């Protein structure tokens, strides 16, 4: 599906404001609560996360040659690095000698030295040096470089798929054609102080669901988002297994005086792009946020977030506005995390055999249908 232009989205928002309506799905969706508690189901979901292209980090996290970032994705330690040729590559983060991780966190260097025995790898993953190499007769250096993972840099993000590299690479381009562009363009720089990882005591799907509907704005965000946004007023679109939800600000009203073709979304709404299965890109004035929800257990997740800005670094006024916006988003995000953990605790009550997602929550139903298809091998 081709996504609507900004002017078309704004026009639909005005129609909803005037009619007191919102976008509706065709039917409610019932999701069995067992799918949030089952170890077997989680194993199937992790398989989807490993073979489907997912963002590992923004391109801006690998700003220059030798920049690298290590983290776990779907339980697999991975290492992304910007090579001397400018290409972004991703490797399994394990030394080919005894499996020690060769990097943690992020940094910039000319290569990687295993901290256990000193095996050294170049930025392209090739094995460069083995201390006392005579102790390894017949060692094939060419076949003992860091193990590659299929990776494609697209729309300002580095996507990975953890199938066998050949099979995954063959599918990456085809699947990523469905992802809209641009998401994060070259103007945006990584903001280290707005990037972090935190653990949430909730199933990963519960965390993702919190991004995909505006039905909760007034009840959950009464003093944060609700004074600035509308309750239960969204434009919901889909692209392949993903979706885009527009969350309008009350300030959108100022565009009624602007000719339709000149209306821009910047500063009057937030777009939330769900990049199936477990990533979100959210747009804010002067900022983009990539959030990736990594399953840790049936009842625990890690939220990895990257903040990016396109405002000039030396502009004090712009910096102050960004900081105010970031504080607001952080406060609202804390409220969302509290709700996710409350849902997780509520699962233990046994009150519900399924969750009831209404027509206001169409993007959540789309998410679960896509996940079912992927588990069944149809996507």
Residue-wise pLDDT for 21-55, tens only, equals 999 999 999 999 999 999 999 999 999 999 899 99
How many residues belong to the chain? 379
Q: Kindly report, as residue ranges, where domains of CATH 2.102.10.10 are found in the chain.
A: 54-176
Q: In the prediction, which pLDDT does 168 show?
A: 59
What is the Cβ-side half-sphere exposure of residue 278, based on CA atoms within 13 angstroms?
32
pLDDT grade for 76, boundaries at 50, 70 and 90: very high
Q: CA 248, 252, 256, 258 torsion: positive or negative?
A: negative
Where do we find the tokens 């067992």?
34
Question: What's the CA gap between 131 and 144, in Å, rounded?
Answer: 14
Using a 10 angstrom Cβ sphere, with 0-12 exposed, 13-18 middle and 19 or more buried, the burial of residue 155 is buried
Q: In the prediction, which pLDDT does 50 show?
A: 93
The average confidence (pLDDT) of the chain is 94
Q: What is the pTM of this model?
A: 0.95
What would the mean pLDDT of 68-83 be, rounded to a whole number? 97
Q: Identify which has the larger pLDDT, 126 or 183.
A: 126
Residue 114, pLDDT > 70, answer yes
Q: In the prediction, which pLDDT does 328 show?
A: 93
Residue 171, pLDDT > 90, answer no
CA angle, residues 236, 241, 245, in degrees to nearest 5: 20
Q: Judge contact between 145 and 96, C-beta under 8 A.
A: yes
Q: Is 132 left (phi over 0), alpha (psi -120 to 50) or beta?
A: left
Residue 379, pLDDT > 60, answer no
Q: Kindly report, as residue ranges, where domains of CATH 3.90.380.10 are found in the chain.
A: 6-51+186-375
CATH, domain 54-176, list 3.90.700.10, 2.102.10.10, 3.40.50.1370, 3.50.50.60: 2.102.10.10
Q: In the prediction, which pLDDT does 191 show?
A: 85
Q: In the prediction, which pLDDT does 163 show?
A: 79
Q: In the prediction, which pLDDT does 194 show?
A: 73
Q: Identify which has the larger pLDDT, 242 or 377.
A: 242
Tell me, what DSSP letter sits at residue 3?
A: P
Q: In the prediction, which pLDDT does 192 show?
A: 72
Residue 50: how many CB atoms within 10 A of its CB? Answer: 18
Using a 10 angstrom Cβ sphere, with 0-12 exposed, 13-18 middle and 19 or more buried, the burial of residue 186 is exposed
Q: In the prediction, which pLDDT does 169 show?
A: 63
What would the mean pLDDT of 112-122 be, rounded to a whole number? 98
Residue 279, pLDDT > 70, answer yes
Q: In the prediction, which pLDDT does 166 show?
A: 65
Question: What's the CA gap between 27 and 239, in Å, rounded?
Answer: 19
pLDDT grade for 20, boundaries at 50, 70 and 90: very high
Q: CA 189, 191, 196, 200 torsion: positive or negative?
A: negative
CA dihedral 33, 38, 77, 79 (to 10 degrees): -30
Question: What's the CA gap between 202 and 325, in Å, rounded?
Answer: 26
Residue 87, pLDDT > 90, answer yes
Q: Identify which has the larger pLDDT, 127 or 323.
A: 127
Question: What's the CA gap between 296 and 61, in Å, rounded?
Answer: 23
What is 6-51+186-375's CATH topology?
Answer: Naphthalene 1,2-dioxygenase Alpha Subunit; Chain A, domain 1 (3.90.380)
Q: In the prediction, which pLDDT does 164 show?
A: 67
């Amino acid at each position: 599906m081709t996504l609507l232009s900004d002017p078309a989205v704004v026009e639909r928002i005005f129609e909803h404001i005037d009619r007191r309506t919102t976008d509706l799905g065709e039917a409610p969706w019932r999701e069995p609560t067992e799918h949030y508690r089952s170890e077997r189901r989680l194993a199937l979901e992790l398989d989807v996360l490993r073979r489907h292209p997912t963002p590992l980090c923004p391109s801006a996290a690998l700003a220059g040659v030798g920049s690298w970032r290590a983290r776990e994705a779907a339980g697999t330690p991975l290492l992304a690095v910007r090579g001397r040729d400018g290409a972004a590559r991703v490797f399994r983060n394990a030394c080919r000698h005894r499996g020690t991780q060769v990097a943690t966190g992020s940094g910039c260097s000319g290569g990687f030295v295993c901290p256990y025995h000193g095996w050294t790898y170049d930025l392209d993953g090739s094995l460069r040096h083995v201390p006392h190499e005579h102790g390894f007769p017949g060692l094939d250096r060419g076949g003992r470089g860091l193990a590659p993972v299929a990776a494609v840099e697209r729309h300002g993000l580095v996507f990975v798929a953890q199938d066998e590299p050949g099979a995954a690479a063959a599918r990456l381009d085809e699947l990523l054609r469905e992802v809209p562009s641009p998401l994060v363009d070259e103007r945006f720089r990584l903001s280290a102080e707005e990037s972090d990882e935190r653990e949430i005591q909730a199933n990963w799907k519960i965390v993702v669901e919190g991004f995909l509907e505006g039905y909760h704005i007034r009840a959950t965000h009464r003093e944060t988002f609700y004074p600035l946004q509308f309750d239960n007023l969204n434009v919901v679109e889909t692209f392949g297994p993903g979706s885009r939800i527009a969350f309008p600000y009350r300030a959108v009203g100022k565009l009624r005086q602007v000719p339709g073709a000149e209306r821009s979304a910047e500063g009057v709404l937030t777009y939330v792009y769900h990049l199936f299965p477990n990533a979100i890109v959210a747009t804010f004035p002067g900022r983009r946020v990539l959030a990736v929800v990594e399953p840790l257990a049936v009842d625990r997740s890690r939220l990895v977030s990257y903040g990016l800005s396109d405002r000039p670094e030396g502009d004090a006024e712009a910096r102050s506005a960004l900081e105010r916006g970031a504080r607001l988003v952080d406060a609202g995000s804390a409220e969302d995390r509290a709700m996710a953990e409350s849902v997780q605790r509520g699962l233990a009550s046994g009150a519900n055999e399924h969750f009831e997602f209404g027509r206001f929550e169409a993007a959540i139903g789309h998410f679960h249908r896509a996940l079912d298809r992927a588990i069944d091998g149809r996507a």
